[in-house]
């Protein structure tokens, strides 16, 4: 069988949630194009409300798309929904453990749901891979939070899918468990499993992913190899407190300027291209006098702003 180049592909994908009780419809995905190459660890980043879960739920068959085309492992979700679903394992954000089952039973039930025949079940191997062998017969309610989360990962892998999706896998997870989870995920990837993970931690994506897409307000605002993206994000800001209030942010090319609500002037620069001295010289040459200054690292919000900066304003009805 020919393997697909892309494990997941979305073309012009939209999702609009109907508004209820007098509220406007919500355009959660506004026509996104995404290709997740086979074999990659792909990070989908974005602030809350960006549309990440909506995208994942469409892939998992839990939410119906409004329009566009989606294929999972080369299988169109409209034409071959069951085959498309069988190609992915999803580790949900919330721990939903079946309290009456032991981990072993829980994996067996899950394998049964996916129609994995007895001899092909990998229950023991999965329990071992996730460090749950000695808890195989314990009640799930006796497991720690970390163990429950590992069990969720094992459940997602019972049918040996070529694509594993993790939705905010380490929200509220301690450092040690995070490490264990990542080791396992990286190991799976080395064996050929394509990994898609959502996160709102830039660090997490930085550490693990080969490719990063950034979503904001239902759009993909960047999708690049990690190193390239990080170079673009390699910005700092000089923040000046002007002697006299400025009416508007002055243009100081090649730097980007923004007047903050309190009257401070933030001037962003790429560290590869300029230093603080040059920024200050440019500001002075433009006749800006200031009584105070500091430098800042950009946070993810600044990054989103800088990536969406200059984009055409959206028509009101598309918001």
Q: Which residues bind ligand ADP (CB under 6 A)?
A: 17, 26, 28, 46, 48-54
Closest CB 300 distance from ligand ADP, rounded Å: 13
Closest CB 234 distance from ligand ADP, rounded Å: 25
Closest among 314, 79, 82 to 218, alpha carbons compared: 314
Closest CB 282 distance from ligand ADP, rounded Å: 37
Closest CB 92 distance from ligand ADP, rounded Å: 12
Q: Which residue's structure tokens are 């329990």? A: 127
Residue 42 φ then ψ, to 5°: -110, 125
Closest CB 48 distance from ligand ADP, rounded Å: 4
Output 47 or 131, the one with its CB closest to ligand ADP.
47
Output 62 or 186, the one with its CB closest to ligand ADP.
62
Output 29 or 132, the one with its CB closest to ligand ADP.
29
Output 82 or 319, the one with its CB closest to ligand ADP.
319
Output 147 or 220, the one with its CB closest to ligand ADP.
220
Output 92 or 162, the one with its CB closest to ligand ADP.
92
Closest CB 50 distance from ligand ADP, rounded Å: 4
């Amino acid at each position: 069988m020919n393997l697909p180049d892309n494990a997941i592909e979305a073309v012009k994908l939209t999702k609009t949630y109907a508004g209820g009780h007098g509220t406007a419809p919500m355009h959660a995905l506004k026509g996104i194009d995404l290709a997740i190459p086979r074999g990659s660890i792909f990070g989908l980043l974005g602030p809350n409300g960006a549309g990440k879960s909506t995208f994942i739920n469409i892939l998992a068959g839990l939410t119906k798309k409004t329009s566009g085309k989606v294929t999972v492992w080369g299988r169109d979700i409209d034409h071959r929904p069951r085959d498309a679903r069988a190609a992915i394992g999803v580790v949900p954000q919330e721990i939903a453990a079946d309290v009456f089952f032991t981990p072993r039973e829980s994996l067996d039930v899950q394998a049964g749901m996916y129609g994995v025949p007895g001899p092909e079940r990998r229950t023991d191997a999965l329990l071992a891979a996730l460090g749950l062998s000695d808890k195989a017969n314990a009640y799930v309610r006796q497991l720690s939070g970390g163990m429950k989360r590992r069990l969720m990962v094992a459940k997602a892998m019972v049918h040996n899918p070529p694509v594993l999706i993790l939705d905010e896998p380490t929200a509220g997870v301690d450092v040690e468990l995070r490490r264990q989870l990542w080791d396992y995920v990286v190991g799976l990837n080395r064996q050929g499993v394509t990994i898609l993970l959502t996160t709102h931690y830039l660090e997490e994506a930085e550490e693990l992913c080969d490719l990063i897409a950034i979503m904001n307000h239902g759009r993909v605002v960047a999708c690049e190899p990690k190193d390239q993206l990080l170079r673009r994000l390699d910005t700092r800001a000089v923040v000046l407190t002007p002697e006299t209030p400025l009416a508007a942010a002055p243009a100081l090319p090649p730097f980007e300027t923004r007047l903050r609500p309190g009257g401070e002037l933030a001037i962003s620069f790429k560290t590869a291209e300029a230093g603080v001295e040059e920024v200050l010289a440019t500001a002075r040459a433009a006749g800006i006098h200031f009584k105070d200054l500091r430098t800042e690292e950009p946070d993810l919000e600044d990054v989103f702003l800088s990536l969406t900066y200059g984009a055409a304003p959206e028509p009101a009805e598309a918001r």
